[in-house]
Structure 1
Amino acid sequence: MSSRQSSAVELREIRHFHLFCGLGGGARGFNRGSARVGNMQAIFRCLGGIDVSAAAIRDFERLAGVPGTVLDLFDADQYAAFHGRSAPADWRQATPQDIQRAAGNERPHIVFLSAPCKGFSGLLAEALSLTDKYQALNQLTLRGVWLMLEAFQDDPPELILFENVPRIARRGRALLDRIVALLRHYGYAVAETTHDCGELGGLAQTRKRFLLVARHQKKVPPFLYEPPKRSLRSVGDILGRLPLPGDVMQAGPMHRVPSLQWQTWVRLAFVEAGSDWRSLKRLRVEDGHLTDYALAPDQTWRNGVLGVESWDDPAGTVTGNSRPGTGSFSVADPRWVSSDRWRDGQQYGVRRWNDTSGTITGVKSPGQGTFAVADPRHGGPAKFNNVYRIVPWNQPCPAVTSSRDGCIADPRPTSGFEGQGKYRVTSWEEASGTVISSSTTGNGGFAVADPRTGWPDSAHTSKLHVHRFEEPARTVTGSDRVGSGAMCVADPRTDERRSGALGVAAWTDHTGTVAGESLPSNGSFAVADPRPNLQREKGDAYANGGHYGVIGWSDTANTVSGSGQHDNGAWSVADPRHQDGNDRPDEARLPTAQDRLVAVIRSLDGTWHRPFTTLELASLQSLVDPEGYLELDGLSDADWRERIGNAVPPDAAQAIADTMGTTLLLAWSGESFMLSAMPIWVQQIAVGISLDQAAAQ
């Protein structure tokens, strides 16, 4: 009985508390922490968190599962310096008692501080970081530590972790020295470490961070561990499990594609996958325009006008008019010489699908970091791939559709038509074909190439003759066609306004000369008829037929038929949007540089270079599983992205919690040393816990 009792698991609660908690990523990770030493097993419980943002606290309560506290930790002078004005009358400075109340008046074993880092970030110019505003923000790091130490001075927390950007070690050196001195005064051994959140949590991003580890020397003796590392994952491992970007019905509003300026989309499209904005420096630009590329709306034109074939696709049928403007007679040639190796960077960086992401920061636009991905899922192959397709004679025909434009490569010679020589013209010296009962030119060789033209012989002096204006006309015969006699006159009364192609004569003017091919496009063979078509009556073949009909812009169209051509019905529209180059249908023009929109530009590598969606950023931060659902406070993508970028990745926080939990269980069990290969992922943190850098020196 006693043996079974001795082997029973003893549960030990480890309480953690968070200052500058943000949306609760660190608290969520600590809640998932686990540790076991012998028969002692840790259970992590969050006491609460403090942040100045009410929206962040609402997110914290949702992710951490405990109440949070909205509290401004500035003192009065810092408030005035940061906001540029004095604090309002109802504002008051935070006190140590406020910290105690935020922790539910309980004592934590671990305190995690992730103070605002904008003033130390490399994304902020150093001159700007020295202004009063950002110096006041930096001072929060020291004030937050002091308030926490004062609040729990009667029973200090065993472990304190202070997390920030790596640049704090240089820009905030003076503040760090004061923080270290303050911690030592309260009985802590202190070590400054660095870590990569991606390696701690097995994430698909690299996230270098600074971590100051403080161990209360009386409560926690030193320990040493030998942990393994976790490999980084590729960005595609995470994003590939999410729905396609823009699918808000399935993934929620956080998965909408950000609306960017058109010029930003174009820049992203020309960034090489795996590289950054420096790719753009290799493009030739003159007067603000690309000299080697042209942009056009991505649309499938049925007739293949200006079509460009992929390098590995077959070409279209070569015709007698194979020019770039008449079909797919161009090719996307991939044979180019790169002048530089792909390099990693920050601005306009585009990640390959199988690479890790760059660090997720508080900034959120593609122009501020590697926040875009070369997504190979760009919608599949182009449609209408059977247009202008020629079916070989010995292969089956594709599915018959409503279109009548099918073609076949017919091997049967076209010189004759079942031996009859359809439309054949017999030469002068050879015999005619057999005269049959249907002896018209369309039924056989019933025409002859007669060399006896007779022109200008007297036999045909009236054929296509044109009279002078001052001469009398020939006899008017029963055949009034221009090819049957002298039915034309050289009229000197030209009218420059209507003498050209598509000329229209006024109702009271005479028409132009009637020629052998009197079409509207080659002369003044039209008239402005003032008589409205309402004069037509029911039964007229053209009444309401709408031949070459044009619909008014504000009218409704007629019923769409199976053969709706422009010359057999009212299948045209009077489009008023034609005044200038910018007043064109939206689908026929490119956006201006500042137009904000969601675009899919298929880049030179065949992928969609696009920014991460907010949900993808949250997944890369391990705030949500790709198969899960995340809902943050508010409706602003900008606010969501800032809070996500400032968050501690929960998976990395869980790895830290595991190490801290093991350390505390060892201390509570009376162990003083342990060398282990157990899966603890935070080597630098474990070493930081075990050492006092000042003592080591």
Structure 2
Amino acid sequence: MNKMEIRHFHLFCGIGGGAAGFNRGQARINGLEGKFRCLGGIDVDPNAIKDFNTVSGVPGAVLDLFDRQQYIDWHGQEPPSDWQEATPDDIRRAAGNERPHMVFTSPPCKGFSGLLSQRVSATKRYQALNRLTVRGLWLTLEAWRDDPPEFVLLENVPRIATRGGPLLDQLEAMLSHYGYTVARTTHDCGELGGLAQSRRRFLLVARHAEKVPPFLYEPVTRPLRGVGEVIGKLPVPGTPGAGAMHQLPSLQWKTWVRLAFVEAGSDWRSLRRLAIENGYLRDYLITPERYGHRGALGVVGWDETAGTVTGQSRPANGRFSVADPRYPGGHEYGQYGVRTWSETCGAVSGQSAPGGGRYAIADPRLSGVRHNNVYRIIPWDRHSAAVTAGGGPSAGGLAVADPRPHIPGKPFPKYRVTPFAQPAHTVIAGSGKGEGAFAVADPRTGIDRHQGDHYLTANHYGVLPWDAPSGSVTASAKHDNGQWSVADPRELPAPTDNLVTMIRALDNTWHRPFTTLELAALQGLVDTDNDLTLCGNSHSAWRERIGNMVPPPAAQAIASVMGTTLLLAWSGETFVLGSTPIWVRPLAIAATIKNNPPQDTL
């Protein structure tokens, strides 16, 4: 195939995501193959240009495109004495004095962003930033007015279509003056580039009507990918050697807690469903995942290798128990085992008791006449069986289902609880075994406990301060019988302490922020390469430049479609069918007239 060079240039280029995507563009048609080459880029940020040099592979130019009044309105002061307004010659020099076929611009969008209020966006400062778009495009068109680029594109936030309507009208009028037909479109960068993010953007597409008569079709869209499909290729954040950009930010402890309780797929509004009492979560408790000894109360599988046996090998401080499968049929492990009637008994030993082996039997002879009425309950309206000398519940039918409730004054004071303000019944010799004046409802609490009281001096449920000594440790030391708990300050940081921590959320995952490198991966700047390091050492500056960047895969899709259209025009084609919608629609009849620039309609 004959290779045709397709040159592209970038205004407000940032770190070069758009340039990197255009470099990867692919176009083949009618025996022609497009070879994309970047001429350079312009940006006012020196660090962004250093990154542009790395990302795009060609040098960029640091150039302020403000006019003097715009500079004063934006910065609030006069420019330095050596500052000069940019000219069309500066634009040509930045492109190496070559003419591009495509100019891609991504001007500052703060004035049109939904993150900025309407009142602030209307101030003189942000209006100056908006006018920078017009001036930058005018300088570009003037730089090559004798031989205009075939395509000019302006990428921005979708809100520019509403908040920046008058500005777009001005841009379209200017482009029309230079021979371009224009369409305002929106697209999702994620769908164009097959990314793991949905990024809606505005794109103004200007096609020079005389140079490019064919239709310009939209790129094919792709389904969005899952976040884990992209960032799962990178190492876990904080892994040694992961790089400076792949570190988790240090957040306040309360922020980590909030993240942990936000439901996956939701936002801060899910926190409103949590019950808070006195500033604390009512229904949840955050505890260390490795509380006490690692593997405490762990059970080793029967076919699993045990850990090292130490002098402290006890169930509570490690995995020193085993899941023994031999219990059901074993003899030496048959405590409280019951043999079947037809089974042979094991050896009878001096420990032949139910707790020492299988020394009980399932006796089927219960159906005989003996012991028929053991624990039998006689209904209230039925007659009793014969009263025998062994007339107890376990020796005959001598228990009854008595339906009568307790009647005061009647002899049924079993387990009676006497109110504190009432007199007791007669104290009899059996009082204390369920009969007579058995118990009292004592309303007195422990508030008035005094020295010598057992529950006062034993410090039940006592909690020791971190800096206080403990009492003598006893063999029965437990949390409920003394001061055997401690107020440990190490577990929960202060709400405003900055740290990196892992809280296992309710969905058994780690809710954490994206690292800067992962944001670059979501933008399509990196894939499995974790060696990327942008200029400087500020994560906030890195994130701003990454967020302002056009995703390279989306730019590649746009460049490929425009490159194909260019090859069609260069090969003499004026019409081609496509399976996707048309971006810029000329009148059908005008598309066949070569010597008359078509008067296009949208």
Per the alignment, residue 342 of structure 1 pairs with none
Q: CA deviation at 1:219?
A: 0.8
Q: Which residue of 2 aligns with 1:75?
A: 67
Name 2:295's counterpart in structure 1.
384
Distance 1:227 1:296, change over 3 A: closer
Question: In the alignment, does 2:548 pair up with 1:637?
Answer: no
Structure 1 unmatched ranges of 5 or more: 1-8, 303-382, 423-497, 502-519, 523-551, 554-564, 568-579, 678-682
Residues 219 and 557, structure 2, Cα contact 8 Å, conserved in 1: no
Q: Which amino acid aligns with 2:110?
A: K
State how far apart, in whole Å, the 1-side matches of 2:260 and 2:6 are: 50
Contact 1:224 1:674 in 2 (8 A): no
Q: 2:309 aligns with which of 401, 404, 408?
A: 401
Match of residue 657, structure 1, among 559, 577, 580: 559
Check whether the contact 2:195–2:225 (CA below 8 A) recurs between aligned residues.
yes
CA distance in 1, matches of 2:40, 2:307: 66
Question: Corresponding residue for 2:265?
Answer: 274
Q: 1:222 to 1:292 in 2, by over 3 A?
A: same
| Letter paired with 1:616 | E
CA distance in 1 between partners of 2:452 and 2:81 (Å): 86
Q: Secondary structure at the match of 1:43?
A: strand
Offset at 1:499? 9.5
- What does residue range 495-506 of structure 1 map to in structure 2 within 5 Å? none
Specify which of 92, 99, 104 is matched with residue 96 of structure 2: 104
- 1:230-262 CA-to-partner distances (Å, cap 9, x unmatched) read 111111111111111222x33311111111122
Aligned position for 2:192: 200
Q: Secondary structure at the match of 1:602?
A: coil
Give yes or no for contact 1:255–1:614 (8 Å, CA) kept in 2.
yes
Give distance in 1, aligned partners of 2:168 and 2:305. 78
**Cα 1:260–1:694 shift into 2, 3 Å:** farther
Counterparts of 1:227 and 1:77, CA distance in 2: 40
Q: How many angstroms does 1:176 deviate by? A: 0.8
Q: Structure 1 residues 72, 252: CA separation in 2 closer, same or farther (over 3 Å shift)?
A: same
Residues 215 and 689 in structure 1, CA contact (< 8 A), matched pair in contact too: no
Q: Provide the C-alpha distance between the structure 2 equivalents of 1:396 and 1:237, rounded to a whole number of angstroms.
A: 34
One-letter amino acid of the structure 1 residue matched with residue 107 of structure 2: A
Q: Do the aligned residues in 1 keep the contact of 2:4 with 2:32 (CA within 8 Å)?
A: yes
Equivalent residue number for residue 293 of structure 1: 284
Following the alignment from structure 2 to structure 1, what is the Cα–Cα distance between the partners of residues 509 and 561? 41
Q: 1:43 to 1:599 in 2, by over 3 A?
A: same
Is 1:670 matched up with 2:579? no
Q: Gaps spanning 5+ residues in structure 2: where?
A: 316-320, 328-332, 338-347, 354-450, 460-466, 475-485, 591-597
Q: Name the amino acid aligned to 2:94.
A: A
Alignment counterpart, residue 30 of structure 1, candidates 22, 31, 40: 22
RMSD of equivalent CA atoms: 3.5
Pairwise CA distance, 1:280: 1.6
Task: State how 1:480-559 maps to structure 2 within 5 Å.
Answer: none
Determine the C-alpha separation between the residues in 1 that align with 2:572 and 2:20: 29
Cα deviation for residue 659 of structure 1 reads 0.5
Displacement after TM superposition at 1:637 (Å)? 1.0
Assess if the C-alpha contact under 8 Å between 2:233 and 2:528 holds in 1. Answer: yes
Q: Structure 1 residues 636 and 226, CA, compared in 2 at 3 Å: closer, same or farther?
A: closer
Q: TM-score, normalised by structure 1?
A: 0.60
Q: Encode CA deviations 1:70-106: one digit per residue, 9 max, x unaligned.
A: 1111111111221222212222221111111111111
Tell me what 1:647 maps to.
Answer: 549
Deviations 1:31-62 (A, max 9, x none): 01111111111111100001111111000000
The answer to whether the 8 A contact 2:40-2:95 is kept is yes
Task: Give me the whole-angstrom Cα distance separating, in 1, the residues matched to 2:292 and 2:131.
Answer: 62
Task: Give the aligned residue type for 1:419.
Answer: G
Question: What is the deviation of 1:604?
Answer: 0.7
**Correspondence for 1:696:** 601
Q: Identity over aligned residues, as a percent?
A: 58
TM-score by length of 2: 0.69
Distance 1:120 1:626 in 2: 34
Note if 1:126 corresponds to 2:118: yes
User: In the superposition, relative to structure 1, how do residues 64 and 228 fare at CA in structure 2: closer, same or farther (>3 Å)?
Assistant: closer
Matched, 1:140 2:98: no
Structure 1 residue aligned with 2:445: none
Aligned position for 1:485 = none
**1:243/1:250 contact within 8 Å kept:** no
In the alignment, the residues of structure 2 paired with residue 195 and residue 116 of structure 1 have an alpha-carbon distance, to the nearest angstrom, of 18
Question: 1:190·1:214 contact (CA, 8 Å) conserved in 2?
Answer: yes
Q: Is the 8 A contact 1:258 1:598 kept in 2?
A: yes
Alignment of 1:272-671 (within 5 A): 272-302=263-293, 383-384=294-295, 386-387=297-298, 389=299, 398-399=306-307, 401-402=309-310, 403-406=312-315, 411-412=334-335, 419=350, 586=490, 588=491, 590-627=492-529, 629-671=531-573
Report the 3-state secondary structure (helix = DSSP H, G, I; strand = E; otherwise coil) of the residue aligned with 1:194.
Answer: strand
Q: Give yes or no for the alignment of 1:687 onto 2:583.
A: yes
Take 1:20 and 1:226, find their aligned partners in 2: how far apart are those partners?
24
| 1:270 Cα deviation from its structure 2 partner | 1.2
Distance of 1:213 and 1:592 partners within structure 2 = 53
- Secondary structure in 2 matching 1:687: strand
Counterparts of 1:210-249 in structure 2, within 5 Å, are: 210-223=202-215, 225=217, 228-247=220-239, 249=240
2: distance between equivalents of 1:299 and 1:257?
22
- Number of matched residues? 453
CA 1:203/1:259 → structure 2, altered by over 3 Å: closer, same or farther?
same
Corresponding position of 2:154: 162
- CA change 1:421–1:673 in 2 (3 A) is closer
Distance (whole Å) between structure 2 residues aligned to residue 226 and residue 395 of structure 1: 61
Measured after TM superposition, the shift of residue 218 of structure 1 is 1.3
The amino acid that maps onto 2:38 is C
The letter of the residue matching 2:573 is E
Alignment-derived partner of residue 43 in structure 2: 51
1:113 aligns with 2:44: no
The answer to whether the aligner puts 1:184 opposite 2:176 as a matched pair is yes
SS in 2 for 1:643: helix
Change over 3 Å in CA distance of 1:674–1:395 after alignment to 2 = closer
For residues 602 and 39 of structure 1, the distance between their equivalents in structure 2, rounded to whole angstroms, comes to 58
Q: Does the aligned pair in 2 maintain the 1:69–1:102 contact within 8 Å?
A: yes
Letter in 2 for 1:57: I
CA gap of 1:245–1:400, structure 2 versus 1, over 3 A, is closer
Q: Would the alpha carbon gap of residues 187 and 386 (structure 1) be closer, same or farther in structure 2, given more than 3 Å must change? A: same
Change (3 A) 1:95 1:102: same
